[in-house]
Amino acid sequence: MTQTAPAKPSPADGEEVRFASLDPRTGEVVAHHPVHGETDVRAAVGAARSAAAFWAGLGFDGRRARLDAWRKLLVKRLDELQTLISAETGKSADDARTEVALVVDHLHWAARQAPRTLGKRKVRPGALMYNHAATLEYRPLGVVGVIGPWNYPAFTPMGSIAYALAAGNAVVFKPSEFTPGVGVLLGDAFAEAVPEHPVFQVVTGFGETGAALCAAGVDKLAFTGSTATGRKVMAACAATLTPVLVECGGKDPLIVAEDADVRGAAEAAVWGGTFNAGQTCAGVERVYVADAVYDEFVALVVEKAKKLRPGGEPAADFGPITTPAQVEVIRSHVADALERGGRAVVGGLESIRPPYVEPVVLVDVPDDAPAVTDETFGPTLVVTRVADADEAVRRANSSPYGLGATVFSRNRGEELADRLRCGMVSVNSVLAYASVPGLPFGGVGDSGFGRVHGEDGLREFAYAHAVTRKRFASVLDPMTHERGSRTVRRVLRLAKVLYGR
């Protein structure tokens, strides 16, 4: 079967422009959706502006009740959502079920934690301002635009959507053109829970629709996608000083130290590199293994990876490569690695049969090969022998990306994790941090900036509002033209006494 991508339709006079979402396993049409243009997007943002006042006015308790109702509706429709995710991405039923379970878990956490994280609290005024009371709260920005990816069409954008809504914002969401139906289902369920105002709207289409959202006057734009597209989003938003949250790709390393549980590390590497067909921004792509355990590790990886098979049937280990262009990226990385002296100990170029790619494990690949430096986004692993865990850390930190990482070590796990330049680390497991709602998720360098999830994720979609209130007159008041030099000297003397020791 030849893999296809959604085609941009040509409109006829007087007709609504629509496009088809396709099942990458079969090429069959899943559904048709409208192509929303600039006028449509601006209208959605305008409607969201009015809805935002209603939503913010509900307060934390009112919003939590509505978000809980939405969550319960999604739980009732979990089978439908899972089936749709599988249809639009091709991922296995179990991978889709895992995704929807994480969606409802994070939604529950965000709604419950928002009051404590964002609500008004007292702040100590300090010794010099002892006669003032100080408070701090985090207020909603207004309207948040979200541009989501296709690889996790529910879980990833909900890391922005759920937290933005819990913080009191209205949201306009543009899902990937490969997975529009998932976004529409999320939006329809929300409208059922909150029918009064269009607090959460979905606009569908291609890149032009996303560009229109960047320029439509949202108060913040949250983007998940490639680093190249992230730069374009930032440039578009810069024209209107629209702040952005950018979660881009990764080339995440897994480090196997001399004292590692080698069997556990091998299992984690294979799963972390191949689940969801390797189409995970924080999935494992590079593996650095201490010389003392290298041979044992590679043998176990080969044994485990050779058993895995992609396919469209429910029992398949993982599904297809969702986007046709990514197949060619995978092919070019594998071909280049082999041409430059790398060896495939599992699979090879023959493993790439669109839309499916079987596991490919490469060794002896040069450090400057694209398979090591660039995001492959397929079920491939590059395993590199290093002298020890310390060299592994240095090699892991050599990438311009800095999203997540994994360390396997019985005694040095936290120490090695502390030395890694990235946003998140799992020790003796893989990707565990993504499943903990209270932990922030995001990267550094070419992996972007800003955070979703956790308290940081809630604050990303709010602004700090600080207030001081004078309670009584101060004996020493330097904040007046009537203060006199004696007052200033006394204040300075007090500062020296308090803070100069």
Beta bridge partners of 424: 404
What DSSP state is assigned to residue 6?
Answer: P
Q: How far apart are CA 127 and CA 494, in angstroms?
A: 9
Reading phi first (left if > 0) and then psi (alpha if -120 to 50, else beta), residue 106 is in alpha
Q: How far apart are CA 294 and CA 361, in angstroms?
A: 14
What DSSP state is assigned to residue 21?
Answer: E
Measured between its terminal Cα atoms, the distance across the chain in Å is 76
Q: What does the chain come to in residues?
A: 501
Cβ count near 186 (within 10 Å): 26
What does the radius of gyration of the chain's CA atoms come to, in whole angstroms? Answer: 26
The DSSP element (H or E) to which 201 belongs, if any, is strand 200-202
Alpha helices of 27-154 — where are they, by DSSP H? Answer: 38-57, 59-76, 78-89, 93-118
Q: How far apart are CA 286 and CA 151, in angstroms?
A: 20
Q: How far apart are CA 406 and CA 284, in angstroms?
A: 8
What the block records as the tokens of 145 is 């635009």
455 is known as an active-site residue? no
| 500 φ/ψ angles, rounded to the nearest 5 degrees | -95, 0
Query: Which residue in the list 99, 247, 285, 460 is annotated as catalytic?
Result: 247
Alpha helices of 195-317 — where are they, by DSSP H? Answer: 207-214, 227-238, 262-274, 291-305
What the block records as the tokens of 356 is 């499916």
482 is known as an active-site residue? no
Query: Which residue in the list 237, 281, 375, 422 is annotated as catalytic?
Result: 281
The residues that are catalytic are: 247, 281
